[in-house]
Amino acid sequence: MDQIFDQRRYLIPFRSGLLPQIFTDTLVMGAGVAGASAAIEAARHGEVIVLAKGPVASSNTAWAQGGVAGVLRDGERPASGEGDTPDAHLADTLTAGAGLCDRDIASLIVDDADRALRHLIDLGMRFDRGEDGRPAPGLEGGHSAPRIYHHAGDSTGAEMQRCLGAAMAGAPAIRVFENCFAIDLLTPSDEPGSPVLGAITYHDRYGLQMLWARTTILASGGAGTLYRETTNPRVATADGIAMAYRAGATLGDMAFVQFHPTTLYLPGATRTLISEAVRGEGALLLDAGGRRFMSDVHPQAELAPRDVVSQAIMRQIAKQGGRHVWLDCRAIEAFDSRFPAIGAMLRRFELDPASDLIPVHPAAHYMIGGVRTDAATRTDVPGLLAVGEAACSGLHGANRLASNSLLEGLVLGRVAGEQAGLALASGTPRPGPTSIVSDIRPSDHAEIDLPDVRSSLRSAMWRNVGLERAGPRLRDAADMFDFWARYTLDKIFDDPEGWEVQNLLLAAALVTRAATWREESRGTHARSDFPAPSDAFRVHDLWRRGREQGEAKAVDSGDAAQLSAG
């Protein structure tokens, strides 16, 4: 990394002893599926504070149209999909991950799906059911059998957020701080291995606060707003990834960003997701001339893994000089009852899925890379756990299998909560007020327009670090980010807008450098100058603050080989 990105430990100057102090056993940063699952489990052992950057309902989880993948084996049996097994789910996950999944992690998660799904049902999760009253699984891209469970067709995330949110609200040991921006993780020193003791936060009403905790669980979500075209809510600005990097945690697989193949493409309109489940029900992708093209690309056609579908769409757009392809939903009976939220959204734009072709285009959807963790959700910084989209557990490899992310959040969120309970049981003392001083000299550089940096950064990421990449464009993007960083990372901001831009710049630089280093095409990472996968890059690339070069960790091995990734 360029030194400009590594010289700032904290985003703001502060003296810990002069700020309000709050104490808890476990601090959970994020209220989506991973954070809520962690908080619910940790609350069985002690006090928990959950930070939500905005309202709880604004998380990526709440926006998820797709379902949760898993094989139900006992108790609540599925209405269809009998004969499916966790081993088959594991095989599909490994295939989608293109050689970079950590098999043990993937096996742990798919094997625990039955328990996790039944626990959700016990909490009141309302899954769609068949005529016999049993949960009815659907089929999505990359899956060899129906094993995706939905609510109201396309509102699974909102229902899961409601269900888990109600469970948090009913737990006396949990306090939820909404509209609370986590600025940085707290460490007693800047030295490598210095433990995380909590976080410094900002609230419009209460200002800056010091939150001290035995265990801090990072579940802050993704980084979709790095890109001009994204399905993510505005709050997904890579804050957790950036603050973990500043605190000394290792990040992994940062080149891998998943693009969802089908978002509504209308000039001036928000890029609204059209769920993979629509293609699972029979929707087809057509080129500008109305010809189906995915059957020529992959044996699973429209239900191929997302990287395959997204890249095929972009090739069609480039070939025909257009801006989108068409999604043909006309063969789906009773579309509005099957997908009520999508149907209502389309009708707001005067589109009728029963008679109209829907213009669609890929958009950034899911951050596969993140804070590197082990099977117990531990990072390499003491006191810090990470789960969900902010983490890199190794489940997804180079490409996330559809609907595995909600399952990962449920399973590993619970694991993180258990780890917090173990820390409490071990007698780990609750951190007291520790003297932490952040002195930052005011910048001598000229002011720069923040909205312009944000907009330009997102456009540069889409053009140069998007679905198809090449060395010269990646290096151009890295140079741009270095230039903007000199005039942005040196500034002291006093509101979330400024901190978000600083976090986005750091994350953009990391993604770009990882993509430059990875001279191959694998999963979501496609290089036009290196179009084939390479065994030399069948490794997890690792990035840590202050390193002159990166480190690569062999897949399914504890051995690490030193490679020039800096």
DSSP structure string for 313-337: HHHHHHHHT-S-EEEE-TTSTTHHH
Q: Which pLDDT tens digit goes with each residue over 239-258? A: 999 999 999 999 999 999 99
Burial class for 288, CB neighbours closer than 10 Å (0-12, 13-18, 19+): middle
- What are the φ/ψ torsions at residue 14 (nearest 5 degrees)? -165, 160
The predicted model gives 402-424 an average pLDDT of 96
Among 66-75, 469-478, 549-558, which is the least confidently predicted range?
Answer: 549-558
Nearest to 102 by CA among 347, 368, 284, 303: 368
Ranges of CATH 3.90.700.10 domains, the chain: 260-362
Q: What percent of the chain has pLDDT over 70?
A: 94
Q: Which two tokens stand for residue 105?
A: 């992690």
The predicted model gives 286-293 an average pLDDT of 94
User: With bands split at pLDDT 50, 70 and 90, how would you rate the model's confidence at 562?
Assistant: very low
At residue 348, the 3 state secondary structure works out as helix
User: With bands split at pLDDT 50, 70 and 90, how would you rate the model's confidence at 145?
Assistant: very high
Mean confidence (pLDDT) of the chain: 90
User: With bands split at pLDDT 50, 70 and 90, how would you rate the model's confidence at 563?
Assistant: very low
Q: Specify the CATH architecture of the domain 22-256+366-425.
A: 3-Layer(bba) Sandwich (3.50)
Burial class for 219, CB neighbours closer than 10 Å (0-12, 13-18, 19+): buried
pLDDT higher than 80, residue 295 = yes
Q: Which residues pair with 263 in a beta bridge?
A: 273, 361
Q: What is the pLDDT of residue 28?
A: 98
Nearest to 217 by CA among 417, 80, 32: 417
- Helix ranges (DSSP H) in 249-296: 276-280
CB 84 within 8 A of CB 72: no
Q: Which two tokens stand for residue 48?
A: 């928990």
Query: What are the angstrom distances between the C-alpha of 503 and each of 134, 262, 368, 384, 447?
Result: 45, 28, 17, 19, 18
User: With bands split at pLDDT 50, 70 and 90, how would you rate the model's confidence at 87?
Assistant: very high
The predicted model gives 292-299 an average pLDDT of 94
The domain 260-362 is placed in CATH, from the list 3.40.50.620, 3.40.50.150, 3.90.700.10, 3.60.130.10, at 3.90.700.10
Which residue is listed with tokens 């999760």?
Answer: 125
Q: Which two tokens stand for residue 59?
A: 């998380």
Q: What is the pLDDT of residue 566?
A: 34
Q: What is the pLDDT of residue 560?
A: 32
User: With bands split at pLDDT 50, 70 and 90, how would you rate the model's confidence at 63?
Assistant: low
**DSSP code of residue 58:** G
The predicted model gives 436-464 an average pLDDT of 90
Q: What percent of the chain has pLDDT over 90?
A: 72
CA 221 to chain centre: 5
Nearest 5°: CA angle at 375, between 372 and 377? 55
The predicted model gives 543-558 an average pLDDT of 67
Ranges of CATH 3.50.50.60 domains, the chain: 22-256+366-425
Q: What is the pLDDT of residue 480?
A: 94
Pairing of strands 251-252, 257-264: unpaired
Ranges of CATH 1.20.58.100 domains, the chain: 445-561
Sequence letter at residue 108: L
Q: Which pLDDT tens digit goes with each residue over 341-377? A: 899 889 999 999 999 999 999 999 999 999 999 999 9
Q: What is the pLDDT of residue 346?
A: 92
CATH number for the domain whose boundaries are 445-561: 1.20.58.100
Positions marked active-site: 306
User: With bands split at pLDDT 50, 70 and 90, how would you rate the model's confidence at 81?
Assistant: low
Q: What is the pLDDT of residue 428?
A: 81
Q: What is the pLDDT of residue 26?
A: 98
User: With bands split at pLDDT 50, 70 and 90, how would you rate the model's confidence at 133?
Assistant: confident
Q: What is the pLDDT of residue 80?
A: 59
The predicted model gives 278-292 an average pLDDT of 93
What is the model's pTM? 0.92
Q: Which pLDDT tens digit goes with each residue over 301-338? A: 999 888 889 999 999 998 888 889 999 999 999 998 88
CB 36 within 8 A of CB 171: no
Pairing of strands 180-186, 198-203: antiparallel
The predicted model gives 407-436 an average pLDDT of 93
Q: Which residue has the higher pLDDT, 32 or 271?
A: 32
